[in-house]
A = this chain, B = another copy of it.
């Protein structure tokens, strides 16, 4: 056994989260890697299946829908699922209850948040700042929000934000972790800078929630959105969420005031009166199957602290970088993920000339990451189910493929 394999064994033996892996369906034999269980390093794109989800979904389909039918809106708690599940996500992102609703896609929630943000400030604030390196959908939606509210959209890198802020700034849309490089941005200081300029801070937590502490309440974030199918393991396309800080809820003026956000949704009134609280972020009828699968998936967090997850995440990415340095020849790949812990999310992105082909070969050998145009190998480390032996094996297979 190599030195690093031995080290992996020791790290796994000391891992306080090692037991959580059993809460997931892993180690299935895939047809692409029939000889061995795979190493799944793509939980930052689609989280693995929690073991309790299939049975829960079956109950939702067969009993709640199939037998109780319409009565389930009350009796099975369907109607209140968006806010109930929001409260379940809340502690993972440092939010007190009553500030998060689940529903719609991340894109739709970015639209709600940005338009509502602009409406919270004066008309003289005519500029929206957006992370120029963002996952593209945020930029596209921000452009639409700017167009529809008569504002100008100004793309800047997160580092340029403090210098770009001013009296004209209405809102700033930032990513907590960059989807491509895995770089973690300083949410507390950037939020403080946005506030100092009198603007509204909107954070996209897609690549941080469930992987590291966010501290929404602690740092006074105004609005936040995130998906639930990455580190929250909610399943493919599971609904996103929207955080509206409690003292801003009365001023949250949604561009999508559907009947689910009405103060009296079954009053069937033609005039719109917004509900109190986070419910204002709801829109139409929630997609119950996807939503209740997510609710079940969140049970894997029982007894797990986000601080422990963060500690293991950093240990995993440190160890991966160590193994890659040891196994892969100098210069063949280059990490674009910051080495400094304070600037690292829960992924490692390696620049590699023929990244597309390399990722295909890795997947054929059971090591699943993903490729991001044009030249990035992206590996996500979900501390709930990735172990150190997985990490060592992934680096070893990567070195084999690159040789």
Chain A interface (Cβ < 8 Å from any Cβ of B): 25, 28, 30, 32, 40, 42, 45-46, 48-49, 53-54, 57-58, 61-62, 64-73, 78, 104-108, 111, 115, 132, 135-137, 139-141, 143-144, 148-149, 155, 180, 227, 229, 235-240, 254-260, 262, 266-270, 272, 283-291, 293, 363, 368, 370, 372-373
Contact = CB atoms under 8 A, between A and B. Distances in A.
Contacts of A65: 46, 49, 235-236
Contacts of A135: 259, 268
A340 B257 CA distance: 35
A258 B137 contact: yes
A267 B255 CA distance: 29
A256 B61 contact: no
Given A61-B293, A70-B370, A287-B290, 6 more contacts: A48-B66, A49-B61, A54-B66, A141-B257, A236-B285, A237-B288
A64 B46 CA distance: 12
Nearest to A65: B49
Contact of A105 (B71, B254, B283): B283
Contacts of A105: 104, 258, 283-287
A144 B57 CA distance: 35
A151 to B, nearest CB: 12
Contacts of A57: 57-58, 61, 289
B54 A69 contact: no
B155 A108 contact: no
Contacts of A139: 270, 272
Contact of A143 (B45, B49, B272): B272
Contact of A140 (B48, B257, B372): B257
Copies in the complex: 2
A392 B260 CA distance: 35
A396 B132 CA distance: 66
A53 to B, nearest CB: 6
Nearest to A81: B237
A256 B289 contact: no
Contacts of A140: 257-259, 262, 272
Given A62-B54, A155-B270, A370-B70, A235 B288 contact: yes
A81 to B, nearest CB: 9
Contact of A46 (B62, B70, B258, B260): B70
A104 to B, nearest CB: 7
B136 A106 contact: no
Contacts of A293: 61, 289
A285 B237 contact: yes
A286 B289 CA distance: 13
A57 B65 CA distance: 13
Contact of A106 (B284, B286, B290): B284
Contact of A289 (B28, B137, B144, B236): B236
A46 to B, nearest CB: 5
A267 B106 contact: no
Given A69-B42, A255-B148, A283-B107, A49 B28 contact: no
Contacts of A73: 46, 236
